[in-house]
């Protein structure tokens, strides 16, 4: 696998510096190697992930303002290419597609044939601008989909081919709390290359750290210069600035016991009065992995397909078993989601299911804040 969250950066590989032209060369080098280059771009009032042709497609001079239930784009006073936090999309949409055909059946006289879904085309992706919290999220999904004896073949194929260019955060948003989750804002591992954007007035540039043999190979194609001490200091200042700007924090000490030990806490009822069970939080979350299977057929009965698609524990059908629904109330669904995410996820996968990206806070229509809910339960018991 090209990049795993547990893999340390290459030793004795010096950091270097590239300019914007060098970043365009990086895009070209990746494309020549057969990668589809995807990364951040501005569309429909948000910074989303989509195919990139060159650095001109990046959100130059744009940032985002985020708070509970609020997201707005805003122009920056500079020409930063990565001067934002995270948007509504996460990288899981490329590794774990929202909809995937599993097989197709065709009638052949009195019999029928089943065709397995062909491997998808252009599934060799180079991810540009992956933040540290997102690297940790990819690492979590690695443990879910390929970390045990049950392997998701589509995820495995896409993950093994992925090339990851991380970007260290230069600012934090109002909903960010990765520092308190120990998942950012600096990328420590899990990347092929990591960039730190230095906003020099005359000529902005990037400090580059190599994290894999594949990354070192690609850097052989890129014009670069040696790292000076002032460059190293500038890069450290960028990350320190983001750390000091965290909009939120979550106290994680004792959290594995806090939520399961208080299933009847009145806070669950309070949050349920606001929650719409819309599933926005789980769709935006970079670690949620639930899916369901649906079968479709045409009116003639000659053709049928089976599809896998994303699902959410906030939908009533999610907990349906013979005889009825296990979690009929919004209260029980929210309690299940947050308890699994922050507590019982440890039992299953050895880590928290939350990376502190803040997406569930920003994209909740009523502004429910996961850090506030945990804090309220903790405060009432102290």
C-alpha 165/C-alpha 108 separation (Å) is 48
Predicted pLDDT of residue 120: 59
Same-domain status, 176 and 56:
yes
Same-domain status, 41 and 174:
yes
Count of the separate structural domains present in the chain: 2
CB atoms within 10 A of CB 269: 13
Q: Is position 92 within any domain?
A: yes
Same-domain status, 167 and 193:
yes
Same-domain status, 184 and 330:
no
Same-domain status, 271 and 228:
no
Report the relative pairing of strands 125-130 and 111-116 from DSSP bridges. unpaired
Same-domain status, 199 and 305:
no
Same-domain status, 141 and 25:
yes
C-alpha torsion angle, residues 201, 133, 220, 160 (rounded to 10): -150
C-alpha 200/C-alpha 138 separation (Å) is 31
Cis peptide leading into 185, omega within 30 of 0?
Answer: yes
Q: Is position 250 within any domain?
A: no
Q: Is position 232 within any domain?
A: yes
Listed residues 244, 274, 305: the one ending a domain = 244
Same-domain status, 359 and 311:
yes
Q: Is position 3 within any domain?
A: no
8 A C-beta contact, residue 205 and residue 179: no
Task: Note down pLDDT in tens along the chain; length 382 residues.
Answer: 444 444 556 666 789 999 999 999 999 999 999 999 999 999 999 999 999 999 999 999 999 999 999 999 999 999 999 999 999 999 999 999 999 999 999 988 888 888 876 655 678 999 999 999 999 999 999 999 999 889 999 999 999 999 999 999 999 999 999 999 999 999 999 999 999 999 987 778 999 999 999 999 999 999 999 999 999 999 999 999 999 999 999 999 999 999 999 999 999 999 999 999 999 999 999 999 999 999 999 888 889 999 999 999 999 888 888 888 888 899 999 999 999 999 999 999 999 999 999 999 999 999 999 999 999 999 999 7
- Residue the block writes with tokens 């998701």: 152
Q: Is position 345 within any domain?
A: yes
Containing structural domain, residue 344: 255-381
Q: Is position 5 within any domain?
A: no
Listed residues 244, 267, 298: the one ending a domain = 244
Same-domain status, 86 and 148:
yes
Same-domain status, 266 and 183:
no
Same-domain status, 181 and 78:
yes
Q: Is position 78 within any domain?
A: yes
Listed residues 244, 274, 295: the one ending a domain = 244
Q: Is position 352 within any domain?
A: yes
Same-domain status, 64 and 212:
yes
């Amino acid at each position: 696998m090209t990049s795993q969250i547990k893999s340390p950066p290459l030793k004795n590989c010096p950091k270097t510096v590239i300019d914007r032209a060098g970043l365009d060369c990086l895009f070209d080098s990746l494309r020549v190697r057969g990668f589809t280059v995807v990364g951040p771009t501005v569309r429909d009032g948000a910074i989303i992930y989509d195919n990139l042709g060159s650095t001109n497609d990046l959100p130059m001079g744009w940032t985002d303002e985020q708070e509970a239930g609020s997201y707005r784009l805003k122009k920056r006073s500079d020409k930063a290419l990565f001067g934002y936090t995270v948007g509504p999309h996460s990288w899981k949409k490329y590794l774990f597609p929202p909809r995937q055909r599993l097989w197709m059946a065709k009638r052949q006289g009195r019999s029928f044939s089943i065709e397995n879904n062909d491997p998808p085309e252009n599934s060799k992706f180079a991810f540009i601008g992956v933040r540290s919290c997102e690297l940790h999220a990819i690492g979590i999904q690695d443990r879910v989909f390929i970390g045990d004896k049950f392997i998701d073949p589509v995820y495995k194929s896409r993950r093994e081919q992925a090339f990851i260019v991380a970007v260290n955060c230069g600012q934090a948003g109002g909903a960010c709390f990765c520092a308190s989750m120990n998942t950012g804002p600096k990328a420590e591992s899990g990347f092929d290359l990591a960039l730190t954007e230095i906003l020099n007035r005359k000529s902005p540039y990037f400090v580059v750290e190599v994290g894999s043999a594949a990354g070192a190979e690609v850097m052989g194609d890129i014009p670069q210069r040696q790292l000076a001490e002032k460059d190293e200091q500038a890069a450290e200042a960028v990350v320190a600035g983001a750390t000091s700007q965290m909009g939120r924090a979550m106290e994680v000490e004792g959290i594995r016991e806090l939520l399961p030990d208080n299933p009847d806490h009145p806070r669950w009822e309070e949050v349920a009065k606001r929650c719409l069970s819309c599933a926005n939080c789980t769709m935006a979350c970079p670690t949620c992995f639930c899916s369901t299977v649906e079968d479709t057929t045409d009116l003639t009965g000659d053709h049928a397909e089976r599809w896998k698609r994303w699902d959410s524990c906030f939908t009533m059908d999610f907990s349906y078993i013979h005889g009825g629904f296990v979690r009929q109330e919004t209260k029980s669904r929210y309690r299940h989601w947050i308890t699994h995410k922050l507590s019982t996820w440890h039992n299953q996968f050895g880590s928290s299911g939350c990376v502190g990206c803040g997406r569930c806070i920003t994209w909740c229509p009523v502004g429910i804040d996961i850090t506030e809910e945990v804090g309220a339960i903790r405060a009432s018991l102290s």
